[in-house]
Homo-oligomer: A and B are copies of this chain.
């Protein structure tokens, strides 16, 4: 862990949202998943992120998923709530609900759909900060919002106490390193990588923790990985990361001829969790599709190779 004593660190999986066949939150499965993750030793839960299908759930279903996660976590680990919305006012509305439902922190991206200038992205976070009474993490996810949070923007927001951390899913490790260097003196700031295949590397570079989608499927692996990093056993960390990188090929199970990135990722995570008996089924929200039996067999083969079945 960094000298800045981050508020959040370790493994904080972006929890998938189990669904029933008719698209409702499968609360029993979500409860089992939350217990499964906490029992594995994760340090927190990130609910309603991209892997949580936040963009696919109606507000009522989002509320339900968050409510179940908070209730099940029951204070054992903090629950961070994604407030994935297009612009400032809508994010604030979601953050207020998250606060009411008991979230320990909220996460916001840059605006999307809207076409905004970096100056407006800066204002976005400042207005949210002024309106919301929980720790606020910036979520850098250009693959979804189509703009990148510049390191200097993040650092300026951090220095001014606007954001309390960063979840970096930009894939721009060089930029993330600039944030790590620039925030080293910021007490409490949490720098989390969502780049799940290079967690060892980013921990070496000074990250505080990871938010790996694959951590839903193999939380024990990521917990071991983070522990090895914390104890400077880098060769072991690397070996564990390599194993997880191989396992990550489950996201290639769904055919790229008929499935987009969301389906390939979330669909595979859910399929793996269903195969492992943690959740009841692998249903995903429209317009995604569930993996086919053949694709499911591919996921199963990867799980077996990884010793998880």
Of the candidates B116, B257, B287, which one forms a contact with A121 in the assembled complex, judged by CB atoms under 8 Å apart?
B287
State A200–B177 Cα separation when bound (angstroms): 11
How many whole Å from A117's CB to the nearest CB in chain B? 4
Interface members, chain A 90-106 (any B CB < 8 Å): 90, 93
Q: Which of A121-175 contact B (CB under 8 A)?
A: 121, 123-124, 127, 143-146, 171-174
**CA A237 – CA B234 in complex, angstroms?**
12
Which residues from chain B contact A146 at a C-beta distance below 8 Å? 146
- Chain B proximity of A125: nearest CB distance (Å): 9
Q: For this complex, into which size category does the number of interface residues on chain A fall?
A: 35 or more
Contact B204 A124 (CB under 8 A): no
A112 to B262 Cα, complex, angstroms = 11
Contact pick for A56, options B86, B143, B232, B242, CB 8 Å = B86
Pair B204/A234 contact, Cβ less than 8 Å:
yes
Nearest residue in B to A111 (C-beta to C-beta)?
Answer: B287
Q: Do residues B120 and A263 form an inter-chain contact, with CB atoms below 8 A?
A: yes
As a 0/1 sequence over residues 55 to 99 of chain A, the CB contacts with chain B under 8 angstroms (1 = contact) are 111110100000000000000000000001011111001000000
Chain A interfacial positions (CB closer than 8 Å to B): 23, 50, 55-59, 61, 84, 86-90, 93, 111-117, 119-121, 123-124, 127, 143-146, 171-174, 177-178, 181, 195-198, 200-202, 204-206, 232, 234-235, 237-238, 241-242, 245-246, 256-263, 285-289
Which 4 A-B pairs rank lowest in CB-CB distance, beginning with the nearest?
A201-B201, A115-B261, A117-B260, A116-B260
